Structure 1
Amino acid sequence: MADDLELHVERRIDAPVETVWRAMTERLEEWFCPKPWQARVRELEWRPGGRSAVVMHGPNGEKVLNEGTVLAFEPNRRFIFTDAFTAGWRPAEPFMVGVFEVEPDGDGTLYRATARHWTRDALERHRAMGFETGWGAAADQLKALAEEIT
């Protein structure tokens, strides 16, 4: 995958990796999409091949279903999902692969979220949708949540 088809956000979080990981996976609804939007987990199987179905609810009644498949789940390290498949490995119109990683950084944690795209057009559509602002806000929300529960 060419790096020029990736968008990234990073944050240093003043909390141990284990705390950040618990916030990422156990409290996903609290940080996953920028406020005033809200994420609601319909189904999320934390295992390779597991279904990922999260509905994002907007302030004006919008509903956006993000459905896909978990590709990798490595506790205290990373999880990866894609929308290229839905439950039962049914092919879908692919947009991206989402990679969410944590690693020790001194007495804190480095959080990195990456959106990998198949095409330049998909990357530019994601950027135009507000990737930096939206994923940046979600990263800030995760940071605040993890630092609060430390």
Structure 2
Amino acid sequence: MSGTEHELSVTCHIAASRAICWTVWTDMKDAWFCPRPWRAEVIEQDLRPGGRSAVQMFGPDGEETGPMEGVFLEVVPHALVVTTDAYAAGWVPQTPFMTAIWRFEEEGAGTRFTATARHWDAETRARHEEMGFHPGWDQMMAQFKALCETCAARA
């Protein structure tokens, strides 16, 4: 089993360097991480294996999620970030939903950005689809791309 049969993924080409895309991913998550009119607030982002990843989302009518709590499994600056919600900080087990894989690859004069949600089983994958993976992650991707390209134009 490769693990990919339970994946959902979005990808796009961004007319910006991997360095700019990395900076937008790490430093500007509140501006792109969830579909507008929702907004995200980074609670903690300890970018190292075992470091805490915690983000809370707020809706336009006062709705709140989470926080979405997990840990970083792998961090390769400008190239790859892997997080999971199977653990909270300190390797405390919690009910898992997915592992997120964020890839930044050079492509032409820009960057191929791919965001993948890998689920433990077909039922969880289907639930994520029903929750609105598409268009939610599609809109997140479009917001990320636009912000990266705006930052590149200013550089």
**1:59 aligns to 2:60 (yes or no):** yes
Report Cα offsets for 1:1-58 as digits up to 9, x if no partner. 4311000000110111111111111111111111011000111101110001100001
Q: What does residue 90 of structure 2 align with? A: 88
Q: Secondary structure at the match of 2:35?
A: coil
Give the alignment of 1:89-104 within 5 angstroms: 89-104=91-106
Q: Secondary structure at the match of 1:60?
A: coil
Give the alignment of 1:1-150 within 5 angstroms: 1-64=2-65, 65-150=67-152
Aligned-residue RMSD, C-alpha: 0.7
Runs of 4+ in structure 1 over 2 Å off: none
TM-score by length of 1: 0.98
Aligned-residue identity in percent = 43
Consecutive unaligned residues in structure 1, runs of 5 or more: none
Report Cα offsets for 1:62-97 as digits up to 9, x if no partner. 111100111111000011111000011110000000
Distance across 2 between alignment mates of 1:14 and 1:69: 30
Give the number of equivalent residue pairs.
Answer: 150
1:34 partner amino acid: P
2:107 partner amino acid: D
